[in-house]
Amino acid sequence: MKAENRKLKYVFMIFVVFYLLAIVFPFFWIFITSFKTSGEIFGAGAFRVIPEEPTLRNFYTVLVEKGILNAIKNSLIISLLTTVYIVLVATFSAYAISRFEFRGKNILLGLILAVSMFPQMIVIGPIYNMFLKLGLTNSYAIVLPYSTITLPMAVWILVTHFNQIPMALEESARIDGATPLQTLFKIVFPLAAPGVFTTAIIVFISAWNEFVLTITINSNQEYHTVPVAISFLRTQFSILWGEVAAATTIVTIPTLIMVLFFQRQIVSGLTSGGVKE
């Protein structure tokens, strides 16, 4: 029996190793491609792991000539604004859904979840027409329609965490004279911090990677975000794969560092609300 368990353990470990290699390999290949010349990318050395003539020309081109730094600035501004806005709105919404009893509560949660399942191509037309009439195209107001992507998920995560906080704590605070807002921000919010933190990280990454809304509403290059800027690294007849790889390497670093640095908090936030105490 022990021998069989040991074999299963080894088989599982081998499977996990191959699975991780399959996930990591595309990122690794993009990284080494960013140091290759066009001749190496398309020539006989296309499958060479270590570049024969490593170069930083691709990084220089995207940073200095292609203006990727402006796209990174736009992505940071839009992602941070979206995160603050969504977390604030989701906190009030999730708290109301969690604490107040009303008819159609489960239906409302179902509708919120259903909104997140709408294909972006369905809502992009009305949103664009509205922004065009309001004069909000080519601006940072793009954070407003980002709520169609991030708000439903944020509300669902926070509702789960608010449900785990005992009502007795709020009742005690109310007896001590705390207002509803004081109870929310001084009692409930700190206790739900893992969920709030996780929600903020997920919203930030979702906003950072968004493409369709930005390329449609912000057609001006001045307001292009990272994914849109990378999509324009091409000529009339070819895609500049070396520059694309360099830009991808540069813009992946912030989200990668964020996930690695806060991985414990993210896992804690996703799991702490899953068990009813």
Does residue 26 form part of some domain? no
Does residue 1 form part of some domain? no
Percent of the chain with pLDDT over 90: 7
Residue 263: the pLDDT is 64
Does residue 23 form part of some domain? no
pLDDT tens, position by position, 199-246: 888 898 888 888 888 888 988 888 999 889 888 888 777 788 888 888
Can you give the pTM of this predicted structure?
A: 0.80
The total number of structural domains that make up the chain? 1
Does residue 229 form part of some domain? yes
Does residue 225 form part of some domain? yes
Of the candidates 202, 169, 204, 198, the one whose C-alpha atom is nearest the C-alpha of residue 184 is 169
Does residue 12 form part of some domain? no
Q: Is 128 within 8 Å of 195 (Cβ atoms)?
A: no
Residue 275: the pLDDT is 46
d(CA 114, CA 199): 19
Q: Is 153 within 8 Å of 116 (Cβ atoms)?
A: yes
pLDDT at 122 over 90: no
d(CA 193, CA 14): 37
Does residue 18 form part of some domain? no
CA atoms within 13 A on the CB side of 229: 28
Query: Any idea what the CATH number is for the domain that residue 88 is in?
Result: 1.10.3720.10
Of the candidates 198, 220, 11, 244, the one whose C-alpha atom is nearest the C-alpha of residue 90 is 198
Does residue 100 form part of some domain? yes
d(CA 197, CA 90): 12
pLDDT tens, position by position, 240-276: 888 888 888 888 877 777 777 766 655 555 555 444 4
Domain ranges, residue 259: 56-271
pLDDT tens, position by position, 54-81: 888 888 888 888 878 888 899 999 999 9
**Mean pLDDT in residue range 106-116:** 81
